[in-house]
Each structure stands twice: as C-alpha cells, then as structure tokens.
C-alpha cells in the first residue's frame, strides 16, 4: 500500500529541519500519516488506568519501509478491518511509557549511532519525554512545524470532507433556528444543535452561543426574548476534519439598526475574500479587510481575523500573531497556495445589541477561492409565534 501523503515532500521538509526521524504522537497527525486511522476506543479521551493512550508513529527520512506504528492492545481489531499502509505494526501497549520505549528501540535499530528525532512537544506526556531526553543516542528537536507544513495544502478528499462538514454545520444551525422561539434557553438551543450535527453524521465539538445584549458565549439558562439576536459559532468534526462557521438569527423581524450592523460585518467578510487566490501574499487578506473595517462606524468594537483550518482549528497557514489564539505569523508574508483552507471571521461587540458575527470557511483555488457552506449569511428570522421546543 502507498502512503496517502507526499512522502518525498515530507523527506524534503525533514532535511531542511535537520531531522533523521519523526516520532509522531498527536492523534491528528497520526491520523493524517496513516490515511484516516483513528482508534475508536480513544476517540474522545486518552486516560486509561494510571497512564494514557499514546499512538506513536515513527517515520525515518528517506526510508518509507522503516515506518512503524505502535498502538493499543485492542487496536488490532480496527486495523484488521481497515488496514493501513504501514506493515510494521505493534499493538501491545497500554501505557505511554511503553509506547515510547518501543518507538525508541525502533529508532535505535534503524538508525544506529546518533539520530536527530523530531517530536511533538505539545502532544508528548512528561513521562514519555523524560525517557527520550535521557537517552544519549537521540537528539530531540521540534517536529511539529514540519508536520504542520505537510498538512497545509489539502488533498481533494480532505477538501471534500471540509466542505461536507461546513454544509452540515450551516444546515444544523438553520434547523436549530427554526425549532426554537421565545423562552428557549441557550442550553436548549446548543443541545438541539448538538443533536442536529450528530444526526448528520458529525461529531459535535463546541458551540459558542451569545444572546441578546450579552457578550457571554457560554451555554446558560438565559432565555431568548423578542427582538434579541442569537449568534451560533460552532465547530463540528467529520472524519477528523473540522468545520467552523458562525451565523446569526433574530427573534422577530430585524429592525433597521440590526440590518445595518450585520451589513457592516458582511462588508468586511466579503472584502477579505477579494484577494484570496493562489500566489497572493497572506497579509493581503488582512490589508483588504482592514481597509473596509476602518470605514465602519463601529470599528472600535469590531475585529477581523483569518486562520487556517483542517484537522485542527487554527493550523497552517498561520496569518497573524495578534489574533485570539497566539502563534507566530509565519505565513502572513508568504504566498497562499491552492488547497489551503481558511476561516475568516468578523466580530462586532455592540454595547446594546450584543454579539454580531459571521465566520466563513474558504479554500484557495488555482484561479481564486471558493467558500464552503456559503448560505444563511443574513439574518435568519425566527417567527415570534414559533413554539418553544
């Protein structure tokens, strides 16, 4: 079986970083390198007994056949049903330290002498890291950046999952808006959205929900009143890929002020899309959005951000170092590439009308861009006579 990723490009990235091998321990990167495999038993949690599940894939630069995957003692059932391309499999572990010990032994065997190994520091338990750091035969360096670069441009099958996830989230929001009305609470609305996403084959991850004049986005027993706005900002997972969009509703017909406020947000969103294309520098998105935002009467309470999307939220391309999630602005001065996927979002924290936001998922194409789930972007009007669920 052939690997589902460009292993020659991975070898190139590793050579640039000075890595002889990668020791991959995050569930999302293991899933990517194995072509979709994610052990069902630990899909939602990692803890087991006194340790944790630690899927570990060892990839040796330039030696595809030396790849080894180390999994849990029950994982062979799933691998029997859905084989992966890696032939060297060890499904005997329960503890993180056992998995890392086997991975280390494999590195010593295929790379005798000194080896430079890239690790995912943010996804490596202390007990596993300490064992690696104590071994004089390996020099540890960051491997997370290399893996993020490998995932930055999405394959056709990945784009399909992201589009389906985005469509399902928007459809779930529209259904949720349609079955709630006066008196519905934030908790009830989020629960409906969870059920709707699940019904569409997704794994519900979160919903940031705001209602009325409040900027609080946590579920609560606050109830929806006539004339109030409702913002749903939700992430749903389909096959490991995350859709993340935000849409607005209002209980009763929106007044002129609400129409104007959402139009301001929409203007920034559409402006941000204009420069998106293969070869365009990432900063151009922020420059164009900033031009329009500067003309907004509510610019003092409005913000714009764009970030990469895929197996995790906020991945490559990294386009800003001043957004809500902190990381270096690596891609801002660099060209976008066809196949990259972006989330673009404009937020207004109006002091009287509340939290007004649109968030869209856009993919870079060879001749421009294309938006996923690109509907229900105006005010979704909920009938005041709607029955409360």
Q: Which residue has the tokens 């060209």?
A: 335
Alpha-carbon distance of 302 to 260, in angstroms, equals: 14
Strands 138-142 and 115-119, how do they pair? parallel
pLDDT at 384 over 90: no
Beta strand ranges found along 73-129 (DSSP E): 88-93, 115-119
State whether residue 7 is helix, strand or coil: helix
pLDDT at 117 over 90: yes
Q: In terms of Cα–Cα distance, which of 193, 175, 199 is closest to 233? A: 193
Within a 10 A sphere around the Cβ of 39, how many other Cβ atoms? 19
Alpha-carbon distance of 168 to 222, in angstroms, equals: 26
What does the pLDDT read at residue 131? 95
What does the pLDDT read at residue 94? 96
Tokens of 323: 């957004």
Indicate the pLDDT class of residue 44, thresholds 50, 70 and 90. confident
Cα 28 from chain centre? 10
In tens, the pLDDT along 195-225 reads 999 999 999 999 999 999 999 999 999 999 9
In tens, the pLDDT along 267-326 reads 999 999 999 999 999 999 999 999 999 999 999 999 999 999 999 999 999 999 999 999
State whether residue 177 is helix, strand or coil: helix
pLDDT at 388 over 90: no
Alpha-carbon distance of 55 to 90, in angstroms, equals: 10
In tens, the pLDDT along 47-75 reads 999 999 999 999 999 999 999 999 999 99
Tokens of 274: 């204009």
Indicate the pLDDT class of residue 383, thresholds 50, 70 and 90. confident
Q: Which residue has the tokens 């690696």?
A: 132
* Stretch 346-351: mean pLDDT: 98
Share of the chain above pLDDT 90, in %: 96
pLDDT at 389 over 60: no
What does the pLDDT read at residue 385? 77
Alpha-carbon distance of 195 to 88, in angstroms, equals: 40
Q: In terms of Cα–Cα distance, which of 341, 343, 361, 369 is closest to 167? A: 361
What does the pLDDT read at residue 40? 95
DSSP string, 237-258: EETTEEEEEEEEEEES---HHH
State whether residue 150 is helix, strand or coil: helix
Indicate the pLDDT class of residue 386, thresholds 50, 70 and 90. low
Tokens of 305: 């951000």
Tokens of 66: 């030396």
Share of the chain above pLDDT 70, in %: 99
Within a 10 A sphere around the Cβ of 112, how many other Cβ atoms? 9
Full set of structural domains in the chain with CATH: 7-151 (3.40.350.10), 156-382 (3.90.230.10)
What does the pLDDT read at residue 387? 52
Tokens of 233: 């900002």
């Amino acid at each position: 079986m052939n690997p589902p990723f460009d292993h020659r490009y991975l070898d190139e990235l590793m050579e640039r970083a000075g890595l002889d091998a990668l020791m991959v321990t995050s569930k999302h990167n293991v899933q990517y390198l194995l072509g979709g495999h994610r052990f069902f038993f630990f899909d939602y949690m990692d803890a087991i007994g006194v340790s944790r599940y630690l899927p570990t894939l060892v990839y040796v630069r330039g030696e595809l056949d030396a790849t080894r995957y180390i999994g849990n003692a029950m994982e062979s059932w799933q691998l029997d049903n859905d084989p992966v391309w890696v032939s060297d499999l060890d499904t005997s572990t329960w503890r993180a330290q056992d998995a890392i010990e086997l991975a280390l032994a494999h590195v010593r065997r295929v790379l005798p002498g000194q080896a430079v190994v890239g690790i995912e520091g943010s996804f490596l338990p202390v007990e596993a890291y300490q064992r690696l750091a104590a071994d004089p035969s390996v020099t540890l360096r960051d491997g997370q950046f290399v893996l993020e670069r490998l995932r930055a441009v999405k394959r056709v099958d990945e784009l399909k999952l992201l589009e389906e996830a985005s469509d399902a989230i928007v459809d779930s929001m529209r259904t949720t808006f349609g079955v709630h009305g006066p008196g519905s609470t934030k908790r009830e609305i989020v629960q409906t959205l969870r059920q709707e996403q699940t019904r569409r084959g997704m794994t519900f991850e979160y919903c940031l929900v705001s209602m009325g004049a409040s900027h609080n986005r946590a579920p609560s027993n606050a109830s929806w009143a006539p004339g109030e706005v409702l913002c749903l900002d939700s992430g749903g997972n389909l096959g490991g890929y995350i859709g993340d969009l935000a849409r607005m509703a209002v209980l009763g017909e929106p007044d002129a002020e609400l129409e104007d406020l959402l139009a301001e947000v929409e203007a920034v969103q559409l402006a941000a899309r204009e420069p998106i294309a293969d070869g365009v520098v990432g900063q151009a998105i922020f420059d164009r959005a900033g031009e329009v935002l500067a003309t907004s009467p509510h610019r003092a309470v409005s913000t714009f951000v764009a970030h990469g999307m895929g197996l995790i939220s906020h991945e490559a391309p990294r386009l800003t170092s001043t957004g809500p999630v902190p990381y270096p602005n690596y891609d801002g001065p660099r060209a976008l590439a066809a196949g990259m996927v972006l989330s673009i979002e404009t937020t207004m924290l109006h002091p009287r009308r509340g939290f007004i936001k649109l968030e869209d998922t856009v993919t870079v194409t060879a001749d421009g861009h294309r938006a996923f789930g690109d509907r229900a972007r105006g005010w979704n009007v909920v009938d005041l006579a709607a029955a409360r669920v």
